Amino acid sequence: MTEKVVTETTTEARRPSLIQNLFPSVLSGIVLGVVGAAIAGVLVNRITTAINPDGVPNDDAVVAAVYTAWVLFFLVGIGAFNDVLKWGFARRDPTPAEELQLAGKGQGLWRYFRWTTDHKVVGMQYLATTLFLFFVGSMGAFMIRLEQSRPGAIFFTPSTYNTIVGMHGIIMIVAAVIMVAGPFGNFVVPIMIGARDMAFPRLNALSYWLLFLDIPIIITTLALGGFQTGWTGYAPLSVQGLTPGMEAYCFFIIIFAISTTVAALNIISTVLVMRTRGMTWGRLPILVWGVLLSVFLSLTAFPTFMMSQTMVVMDRVFQTSFFAASYGGNNWLYEHLFWFFGHPEVYVILLPSLAIAAEVTAVFSRKGIFGRRMLVGSLITISILSVIVWGHHLYFSGSNNALDAPFMLDTELISIPTGFFFLAMIGTFWRGKIWVTVPILFVVGTLVNFVVGGITGIYLADLPTDEILHGGMFVTAHFHFTLVGTAVFGFFAGFYYWFPKMVGKRLDPTLGQLHFWLFEVGFLGTFMSLFYAGLIGEPRWSANIAPPFATPNTIASLFAILIAASVFVTVYNVIITLRSGEPAVANE
């Protein structure tokens, strides 16, 4: 009996050259983006100068052209359109080998700096970017506290202070929006539902790189005179000339809205159609519910914010009049567009963090979630009610007096499903074998801070008390307890819990505990002081602190030093862990 020996010759793939590694990559994206932006700026400058009878260029048009070219040419340089062009001309789907190359196989750390479709790589990219944005935003917060530590505008001019406040606010909002759905929604959610990857891997990469290229846009506002409107960007102030730095704010929001829309559609599609067999809605993990509800809300809310900024750009560049009353515009239009985004956005941020708190509590209480269906129902109810409460931000704008009572009732109703969430959490802790770890510390901090944020929110929901408190530091303290004290603390619970899974190394638990206590004590001291400042009448948006409000602001600034210390403790913990941290075991 003879046997045929079949030999297969396999050609070993050649290692890519240096040029192939650099092009396409983030480096080629930056180079091409800068060159394209410079050319567009020069061309539009000359065109607007030529058509203007006074021979003066339209600075707003020039800046808008620069940002538009930066976005398009960066995406070209990083290879965002390569697959589209290949498919369009070759009229075939990529081979498995090409898909693996696109996913970053065999590219080492460099795959994190390229157009990569692997959901785990994208999740890590989001995590690193989130931490960077939090660091930048927190530096803005410390500059604010520095300015308000003593009466008088000592360290910054009022216009510079307003720009710092605006940049701090919008950067922290963006970081908070992506902090769970970005890293954990990409890395953890597909694993939880048994999916091999996201439904649309290329859109996944697109959503991240749109966020990445958006960051230089908001930073360049400093070179363009900043924007003095604060983080809300209220029109008609935002369309009344000011500086070209206002364009940076507008484009930052427009591009971020596109990024979140793409990411939301991808996550929804993944959860709807790629769950493994047997993963019914009743078995869906709480984190998946939280992320899913969050991205549904973002699809509802963010388009209105994007539309408002598109209108502002048109008013500034093309002299339309959406918001200028003297030409038939209406500033209430902006306020409604903004706050229809502004309040659901709170729950876009909050819901995933509450879901993380529930997941972590179940693990470290070593028991199932108490009233699981009740908890999911509370999150769904909060999501629905959050879309119909934006009017409480406009109680004293004069635009909706007939609707004040319904908006007040809707806002108060949110406290009911929130109470059910707390009931589920307390029931999960009750008689559990609690393992006190860093993640569970942040869960406890989340619940404590959420109680304060929720109770103080009732006073702002009711029109009689809001008449006294609106526009003051009481409001600032309230939303920091809700967004930072609750949502960001929830994020850090997930960060310490899933970091070993994502990176393969354990963060130092002692430094983690130090991070928690510095953050919590500093946070409570800072914003409890600002509650008092608001109660005695201190207004927001003031660089020059009046002497009657000096004491609570000085106390707040001193406690903010602890928050700053917690930031640097976290940075140090991450660095030493990446360099020489203890390896995580397989089941972490």
328-348: pLDDT as tens digits: 888 889 999 999 999 999 999
Q: Which CB contacts under 8 angstroms, 24+ apart, belong to 252-255?
A: 252/170, 252/174, 252/214, 252/217, 252/218, 253/170, 253/305, 253/306, 253/309, 254/306, 254/309, 254/310, 254/313, 255/71, 255/210, 255/213, 255/214, 255/217
Helix pair angle (119-147, 550-580), 10° resolution? 150
**Beta-ladder partners of 582:** 506
Element (H, E) at 583: strand 582-583
pLDDT at 240 over 90: no
Residue 20 CA to residue 28 CA, distance in Å, equals: 11
Closest CA to 474 of 522, 523, 527, 551: 527
Return the SS3 of 174.
helix
Locate 303 and state its tokens: 């388009």
pLDDT at 588: 64
Residue 422 CA to residue 569 CA, distance in Å, equals: 30
pLDDT at 9 over 60: no
pLDDT at 10: 36
Residue 190 CA to residue 267 CA, distance in Å, equals: 9
Please tell me the pTM assigned to this model: 0.94
pLDDT at 13 over 50: no
Output the CA–CA distances (angstroms, integers) from residue 473 to 285, 481, 528, 534, in the order listed.
Answer: 38, 12, 10, 4
pLDDT (tens digit per residue) in 434-471: 999 999 999 999 999 999 999 999 999 998 899 899 88
- The backbone region for 55, taken as left when phi is positive above 0, alpha when psi lies in -120 to 50, beta otherwise, is left
pLDDT at 14: 55
Q: Is the dihedral of CA 222, 124, 344, 255 positive or negative?
A: positive
Give me Rg for the CA atoms of the chain: 25
pLDDT at 228: 84
Closest CA to 353 of 130, 588, 565: 130
The residue ranking higher by pLDDT, 71 or 235, is 71
- Domain locations along the chain: 20-88, 116-583
Q: What is the mean pLDDT of residues 473-496?
A: 96
pLDDT at 254: 97
Q: Name the DSSP class of 201.
A: H
Q: What is the mean pLDDT of residues 281-294?
A: 96
pLDDT at 16: 65
Locate 568 and state its tokens: 């640097």
pLDDT at 179 over 50: yes
Return the SS3 of 512.
helix
Q: Tokens 């640097």 sit at which residue?
A: 568
pLDDT at 8 over 60: no
Q: What is the mean pLDDT of residues 576-581?
A: 94
Q: What percent of the chain has pLDDT over 90?
A: 78
Burial 389-417 (b: 16+ CB within 10 A, else e): bbbbbbbeeeebeeebeebbebbbbbeeb
Q: How many CA atoms lie within 13 A of 228 on its CB side?
A: 15
Average pLDDT over the chain reads: 92
Query: CA end-to-end span of the chain, whole Å?
Result: 53
* Residue 236: cis peptide before it, omega within 30 degrees of 0: yes
Closest CA to 442 of 500, 360, 376: 360
**Beta-ladder partners of 472:** 539
pLDDT at 422 over 60: yes
pLDDT at 306: 96
| CATH of the structural domain 116-583, one choice from 1.10.10.60, 1.20.210.10, 3.50.50.60, 3.90.180.10 | 1.20.210.10
CB neighbours of residue 547 within 10 Å: 9
pLDDT at 11: 39
pLDDT at 99: 87
pLDDT at 126 over 60: yes
